[in-house]
Structure 1
Amino acid sequence: MSTTAKQNKPATKADAGSGPVWDWAAGHGPVTGALSATTGAFAVATLGAATHMPPGWALMVGATGALGHTAAGLRMRNAGRTIAARAASWLVGAGWTTWALTHGPLTWAALGSLATIGVGIGTATRSTTLYEEAREDEALAAEQRQIAAELSAGRREVAAEWAERIQRVCGIGVRILAVETWPAGTGFTLDAELPGGVTYDKIAAHAAGLSADAHLPHGCTATAGIGIHQGRTLIDVGTVNVLERETTYPADYGPLSLLTGIPWGYRTNAEEVCAYLREQCALAVGPTGSGKTNLVHVILAGFARATDVLTWVIDLNAGSAGLPWVLPALENSEHGTPTQPGIDWLASTYEEATLMLDTALAVARHRKTVYQGLMRQHNTDLLPISPAIPQIELVIDEGAEILASTDRSVKKLAERILEVIRIARAMGVRTVMTALGATGGVLGNLLIRREAKVRVALTGGELEGMDLGKMFPGTRGMRTEQAPYKGSGFMGTPESPAGLFKTWQILPNQIGEIVAATSNRHPALDEPSATAAGAAYAERWDADRIAWMRDPHHLPEQRATPSAAETEPQRGLNLRALRDQPAEKHSGEADELVSQFRAQLDEQFGTTEEPARPHADRPGLNLRALREDNNTQEQQNARSAALALILAAGPDGTGASAMERALADDYGTRRPVIQRWLKEWSETGEIVRVGEGSKARYVHHQHTREQ
């Protein structure tokens, strides 16, 4: 018998040791059903024999039971053998009861035949039960096969439709091998086999045409990407525009790790897209009103949740990007609840930013020496990042504009940023910079293009200043009108090809919640790095350093204190291109020297009257230090890019022809100018020339020291 009647009731003292519990609501099995039938028949026969009950009544009851079970079995759609077995059980039981009433139920013949009938009923019941279970399983399997057949038919229809569409729009005959529907139900992916000699980018170039031909909603595209091998491609087709929906930042503020990726938003298939920044820098561009500030807060939220990241923020616009992550902690601390800020350091002035960058460089250089043993132990040339040795992420709002600035002081800040990017990768110091647009001025620096492999372009439908071809080279079919919504745009990483995405909307109250939730999660700067950082880092939260955060009337200094050389009166031209030249002599001494020189010329060659040229007739200064190839910021960028090419070439070096090809498209620099630069750098020892003639190669001096 079943013992499940009181399984859901708590046990009591009365229940303990009371034996088996009978479940009268449970159905009969093969054994209990046979026992019930035989004991019932025996009881009726015994009682009927004692009371002289007419034998025909038992037969009538059995026939009625057989008819009832037959009707119930037909209604329940039982198998014929099941209906027959149950009807036969009733009839056999009724027949034995009728016979027992006539001849007596207490004979050995009666009891033996009843036992035989019970065994037969149990066996038949077990057999029919197994058969019914097999029929039910088969019915379920048939239903699943029918669903799969219908789904396969739908997929075959989709595959045929898109194969024909690709042939018509792209002129390429493909074979669709599979169609996978996205779990979110917002689109599907086609696995297509390409014909011989055709690459997937030929389909990617017609993304807009395919989307229009399929009548996809705005914000949905048909994007071709790499497949399992070069002869296959995966085509993602969005059918629901998830970019137009405003989605708040996920309420799960659980811990993250830099090594497993920091989520920045979601794709059109509703899947999260993560940035892996252990070795990569990041660049995010977006015009005013595109949601760039919100993206910065999403990035800072991910870093705040990470257990192996310390975030340093530079925002020369009054620190507005970092203040929402600091003020909640200051307010909580004032109310007696010690709270760590969501970021580790905030610089709002040129002076503080310079101090922060110098500290980052000192930490990176010190880590190179003190952690050599640890890196050998882990058999790697990258510092093992962990909560014990956290990575430093420098988030520089509008940092790309700092790099493109022509201001003398800001250029010094830019040089430090570039040095951090150049030397600190292995030691766990990386940058995330933002800019107002994807232009040549922002992307003109080769070092930025090479190191910032994680890139985001928030378009907001803006066309001006959004050169997606420069932002995502090699990716075709992207148009700004595909992402006209605030917070939407394109994102590409080394792990995830460039494509449409949208970032979450993070609300101000969520920032406060994240600061409180992650206060005890932030790692501490490792001891060797803290030693290298010194007092500049240890005193970053001192009252005088953060007074501008607490007092709205206390305005931070926007520029560093000018040096003595900058404050003393100028005696003539102060040209940046000649700043390393010796100071000019007093104008009176210069005039005397000129007079003596002219007198010597007159004495030797005779006096010659030189017609005076009025000052107004001069077309302008013609200084060699500011010759044509140096007088614009674009040409200065080209010069820096050329030197970066030599540095990136490594010990093998590079040649003038290769440099000309690399610089011609972006800067239009020609070979004579490059040859002049190479000569200057060779003379100063910046580079070393190897070989002669057309075989000449130029190697950066850093690589010659390594050899």
Structure 2
Amino acid sequence: MTTTAKQNKAAAKQADLGAGPVWDWAAGHGPVTGALSATTGAWATATVGAATHLPPGWALAVGTAGAIGHTAAGLRLRNAGRTIAARAASWLVGAGWTTWAMTHGPLTWAALGSLATIGVGIGTATRSTTLYEEAREQEALAAEQRQVAAELSAERREIAAEWAERIKRVCGIEVRVLAVEMWPAGTGFTLDAELPGGVTYDRIAAHAAGLSADAHLPHGCTATAGIGIHQGRTLIDVGTVNVLEQERTYPADYGPLSLLSGIPWGYRTNAEEICVFLREQCALAVGPTGSGKTNLVHVILAGFARATDVLTWVIDLNAGSAGLPWVLPALEVTEQASPMRPGIDWLASTYEEAMLMLDVALSVARHRKTVYQDLMRSKNTDLLPIGPDIPQIELVIDEGAEILVSTDRRLKKLADKILETIRIARSMGVRTVLTALGATGGVLGNLLIRREAKVRVALTGGALEGMDLGKLFPGTRGLRIEQAPYKGSGFMGTPESPAGLFKVWRILPSQIREIVAATSSRHPTLDGPSLKAAGEAYAKRWDADRIAWMRDSRRQPEQSSPVAVESPVHEDGQRRGLNLRALRDQPEEADELISRFRQQLDELGTAEEPASPARERKDRPGLNLRALRESPEADDRPDDDGPEREEMASDGRPEWLSQALDAIEAAGPAGLKPSAVADLVGRSRQAVRDGLKAAAKRGELVYRDNGPHSVYVHPDHA
């Protein structure tokens, strides 16, 4: 008998309780029960008919009707001929025995023996026909599958031949396509191609745009070649449906994740999720304004919030806007409601709080290096075993790459802390995720960032300026910004998957609140030794006075204004700003030409500069350092080529050198020319050149030789 899973469970439960056998009256008959039912029914009918003197012809008429009905049903169900004949014969034989038994008596040994023989025959025939029908059904399914496979194989063979010919025409090489795998989402396929001798897959990757155009693929779809199972084969991913133009919301499944099993950040063109593994890696995400970078940050924070082995610390000097949506739902919970933990573990919106957070992160990393030596030795690993008991700290720093290249003195201190965290805390489970506004040389100029941030994301949104994909994904060819013109789309590369097109889910504010509520009880807590190392700075991070600005927008934390240029202090004790733009941009040839011209005029004595009427000047901060016209006080300075008595400091250096060093440092990577420094400090160009050369030899400055545009640069900006 066949029963449903629910009925079987109920029957087993009743059997365990000792309630006796349970009959399933809705089940069909098998070979044994069917034969038993037929024989007992025939015997009962014959007995009752003989006792009541029922005309025997009625039993034969009923059997004939049953045979005709089962024959019609078998034809409708397309049963085999032997199955239809066996069932019709069973009805006719049963009806014939019933008619005979009603005439001669059903209680004789001859009647009972013949009935038993008929029952065995019916059971055997039923079993045989059942097996035959099952075999027919399986064969029909197999034939259907063979037909589908044949059709699919024909389609794949056609695709293989088409692309082999296309690669030969566009790339100039002959490949043999060994297999074609259709993507489950139906958005494209993958070719497994064997390369000719001495040819690498780079030859095909370099012609990705040409192959895509030749195949007339939709915008946003590419033919990308990657590594195969060995160096003589390549896998070519061909997208046929542009999934990047579709906006998909963040998956509604907020189930637990783990840093060790990967955290999804988006999906590829084949509609499959792409996961990042950040146990040892840092991440760098760049994207101009309007490309969806803020949405990406929220998707990253959502993945960390779902993880059971991650504590997320966020630094956003732009009023903490990146982390506030993950904190406010917990702060808005009323006292009657159950308490809720924020989606992130710490939020810093000011320079002071960020410095405090980084100091705590460094303290935790250093303390873990000593206190967990026995644990790592027992696990036979040099990496701290990360888990819910010892969570990893993920520092998400919005626009952190800009902090690293800032010339502001305060932000430089912050950048040093970030770089130190990246450098020393890998094995102890403290990693960073940095964002930036563009993939430029300034952002990617730091070797430590390029080495540690192996997970890289570039959201283009169609923006062409400041997105150098070659610097962000070195060694990857065929990436073009035009392929990802949609908001939230771009390129992503990880150590596990090469750089390629991808898109970020759209996460809604309501989903952020849902994730905060769903993951509140799932967040780990900082382990005991790390908590001890973190101290009060970490323990009081949610104190009322430190988070008052989150509750009341009118109580924003005071942001210390960055000091872009450290202005020199004058004798009156006031700092006056310097406008060095004119001096920095002035060609040195013009300086020399003007200097020689004025020297000739002085030697001839035939021309004097017309005296300008004296006018009152208000005392105002700042100096007028226009390069093409000297101030009246400049006439008192010695000529450029004349002798000049230098006033030396106690250390044997010119007194004006400290002011020059400050100005050159404030000028940043652009540096200053010697002529600009001479006008600034009020000394001759020759004396300034000598002093700067000596400073360069001592390592205080770096001379950048660029012909007439040569400048001196501070070592911090070299």
Q: So what's the TM-score if we normalise by structure 2?
A: 0.75
CA-to-aligned-CA distance 1:209-241 (integer Å, 9 cap, x gap) = 222222222111111111222222222222221
The one-letter code of the counterpart of 2:389 is A
8 A contact 1:67–1:87 mirrored in 2: yes
Q: CA deviation at 1:125?
A: 2.4
Corresponding position of 1:158: 159
Partner residue of 1:628?
A: 703
Contact kept, 8 Å, 1:4 with 1:23, in 2: the verdict is no
Q: What is the DSSP-based 3-state SS (H/G/I as helix, E as strand, rest coil) of the residue aligned with 2:525? A: coil
Alignment partner of 1:556: what SS? coil
Q: Which deviates the most, 123-132 or 336-345?
A: 336-345
Amino acid at match of 2:146: R
Q: Distance in 1 between matches of 2:87 and 2:513?
A: 71
Contact map agreement 1:350 1:560 (CA 8 A) in 2: no
Structure 1 CA distance, aligned partners of 2:550 and 2:159? Answer: 59
Deviations 1:136-188 (A, max 9, x none): 22222222222222222222222222222222222222222222222222222
Give runs of aligned pairs for residues 581-660 of structure 1, distance below 5 A: 618=685, 621-622=688-689, 623-624=692-693, 625=695, 626-629=701-704
Residue 543 of structure 1 corresponds to 544
Pick closer, same or farther for the CA change 1:70–1:178 going to 2, 3 Å.
same
SS at match of 2:381: coil
Helix, strand or coil at the partner of 2:265: strand
Q: Give me the whole-angstrom Cα distance separating, in 2, the residues matched to 1:574 and 1:338.
A: 52
- In the aligned structure 1, how far is the partner of 2:222 from the partner of 2:84? 59
Q: Secondary structure at the match of 1:393?
A: strand
> Quick check: 2:406–2:412 contact (8 Å CA) kept in 1?
yes
Structure-2 separation of matches of 1:326 and 1:523: 16
Segment of structure 1 superposing worse, 286-295 or 168-177: 168-177
1:557 maps to which residue? 558
Deviations 1:291-335 (A, max 9, x none): 111111111122222222222222222222122222222222677
Is the aligned partner of 1:493 residue 2:494? yes
1:336 is displaced (CA, Å) by: 6.4
Q: Any residues of structure 2 matched to 1:221-260 within 5 Å, and which? A: 221-260=222-261
Aligned residues: 604
2:442 corresponds to: 441
Kept after mapping to 1: 8 A contact 2:342/2:520 = yes
Cα deviation code 1:413-447 (max 9, x no counterpart): 22222111111111211111111110111111111
Over 3 Å counting, the alpha-carbon distance change for 1:394 and 1:120 in structure 2 is closer
Tell me the equivalent position of 1:217. 218
**SS of 1:162 mapped into structure 2:** helix
Letter in 2 for 1:629: R
Q: Which amino acid aligns with 1:410?
A: L
Q: CA deviation at 1:242?
A: 1.4
* Matched residue, 2:475: 474
| Residues in 1 aligned to 2:308 and 2:84: alpha-carbon distance in whole angstroms | 67
Conserved 8 A contact 2:703-2:713: no
> Which range moves more in the overlay, 137-146 or 281-290?
137-146
Bigger drift between 119-128 and 332-341 goes to 332-341
Instruction: Give 3-state SS (helix, strand or coil) of 1:163's partner.
Output: helix
In 2, the alpha carbon distance for the partners of 1:21 and 1:551 equals 69
Measured in 1, the distance between the counterparts of 2:50 and 2:247 equals 84
Question: 2:461·2:485 contact (CA, 8 Å) conserved in 1?
Answer: yes
Change (3 A) 1:632 1:312: farther
1:264 and 2:265 matched = yes
SS at match of 1:441: coil
2:380 aligned counterpart, secondary structure: coil
Q: Aligned with 1:223: secondary structure?
A: strand
Using a 3 Å threshold, how does the CA distance of structure 1 residues 535 and 74 change in structure 2: closer, same or farther?
A: closer
Decide whether the 8 Å contact of 1:243 with 1:268 is kept in 2: yes
Contact preservation (8 Å) 1:441, 1:634? no
Counterpart for residue 182 of structure 2: 181
Q: Does 1:530 align with 2:516?
A: no
**2:638 maps to which residue?**
none
For 1:413, the aligned partner's letter is L
**CA contact 1:291–1:486 (8 Å) conserved in 2:** yes
- The equivalent of 1:371 in structure 2 is 372
Whole-Å Cα distance in 2 between the matches of residues 87 and 401 of structure 1?
Answer: 87
Q: Is the 8 A contact 1:304 1:342 kept in 2?
A: yes
CA displacement 1:58-79 (0-9 Å, x = unmatched): 6666555545544443333222
Change (3 A) 1:136 1:620: farther
Q: CA deviation at 1:26?
A: 5.0
The letter of the residue matching 2:87 is R
Q: 1:561 deviation in Å?
A: 10
| Same amino acid, percent of matched pairs | 81
Partner of 1:678 in structure 2? none
Q: CA RMSD in A?
A: 3.8
**Map of 2:466 onto structure 1:** 465
How far apart, in 2, do the equivalents of 1:524 and 1:512 lie? Answer: 21
The answer as to whether partners of 1:399 and 1:434 remain within 8 angstroms in 2 is yes
Q: Secondary structure at the match of 1:258?
A: coil
Q: Is the 8 A contact 2:570 2:576 kept in 1?
A: no
SS at structure 1 position matched to 2:522 = coil
> Could you give the per-residue CA deviations for residues 445-494 of structure 1, whole angstroms, max 9, x where no partner exists?
11111111010000001111111011001111111111111111011111
Q: Specify the code of the residue in structure 2 equivalent to 1:354.
A: M
Structure 1 counterpart SS, 2:461: coil
**SS, match of residue 244 in structure 2:** helix
Write the letter of the residue equivalent to 1:542: D
Q: Deviations over 1:649-703 (max 9, x none)?
A: xxxxxxxxxxxxxxxxxxxxxxxxxxxxxxxxxxxxxxxxxxxxxxxxxxxxxxx
Q: Tell me, yes or no, if the aligned pair for 1:351 and 1:560 is still in contact at 8 Å.
A: no
State how far apart, in whole Å, the 2-side matches of 1:348 and 1:20 are. 72
Alpha-carbon contact 2:3-2:27 (below 8 Å) kept: no
Equivalent residues of 1:5, 1:22 under 8 A apart: no
CA distance in 1 between counterparts of 2:433 and 2:146 reads 52
Unaligned residue ranges in structure 2 (runs of 5+): 579-644, 653-677, 696-700
* Deviation at residue 124 of structure 1 after TM alignment: 2.1
Aligned match of 1:403: 404
Structure 2 match to 1:513: 514
1:284 is displaced (CA, Å) by 0.5
SS at 2:180 equivalent: strand
The answer to whether the 8 A contact 1:443-1:449 is kept is: yes
SS at match of 1:332: coil
* Structure 1 residues 21 and 205: CA distance shift in structure 2, 3 A: same
Q: Which stretch shifts more, 309-318 or 4-13? A: 4-13
- The verdict on how the C-alpha distance between 1:317 and 1:135 changes in structure 2, with shifts beyond 3 A counting, is same
Q: 1:124 maps to which residue?
A: 125
Report the AA paired with residue 499 of structure 1.
G
Q: Secondary structure at the match of 2:354?
A: helix
C-alpha distance 95-538 of structure 1, shift in aligned 2 (>3 A): closer
**How far apart in 1 are the matches of 2:292 and 2:474?**
23
Paired letter, 1:329: A
Q: Which residue in the other structure is 1:456 paired with?
A: 457
> Residues 633 and 132 of structure 1: is their aligned pair in 2 closer, same or farther, counting only changes over 3 Å?
farther
Counterpart Cα distance in 2 of 1:308 and 1:398 = 25
After TM superposition, list the pairs within 5 Å mapping 1:95-134 onto structure 2: 95-96=96-97, 107-134=108-135
CA contact (8 A) 1:219 1:482 kept: yes
Match in the other structure for 2:601:
none
Distance 1:282 1:620, change over 3 A: farther
Q: In the alignment, residue 628 of structure 1 is paired with which amino acid?
A: Y
Residue 510 of structure 1 aligns with an amino acid whose one-letter code is Q
Distance 1:528 1:246 in 2: 44
The correspondence of residues 270-349 of structure 1 with structure 2, limited to 5 A, is: 270-332=271-333, 338-349=339-350
Deviation, 1:379, is 1.4
- What is the CA deviation profile of residues 503-544 of structure 1, one whole-angstrom value per residue up to 9, with x for unaligned ones? 111222222222233233322222322333333323333333
Secondary structure of 1:392's match?
A: strand
For the residues of structure 1 that align with 2:543 and 2:18, how far apart are their CA atoms? 72
Aligned counterparts, 1:44-123, within 5 A: 65-96=66-97, 107-123=108-124
Match of 1:30 in 2: 31
For the 8 Å contact 1:455–1:471, the answer to whether it is kept is: yes
- In the other structure, the counterpart of 1:203 is 204
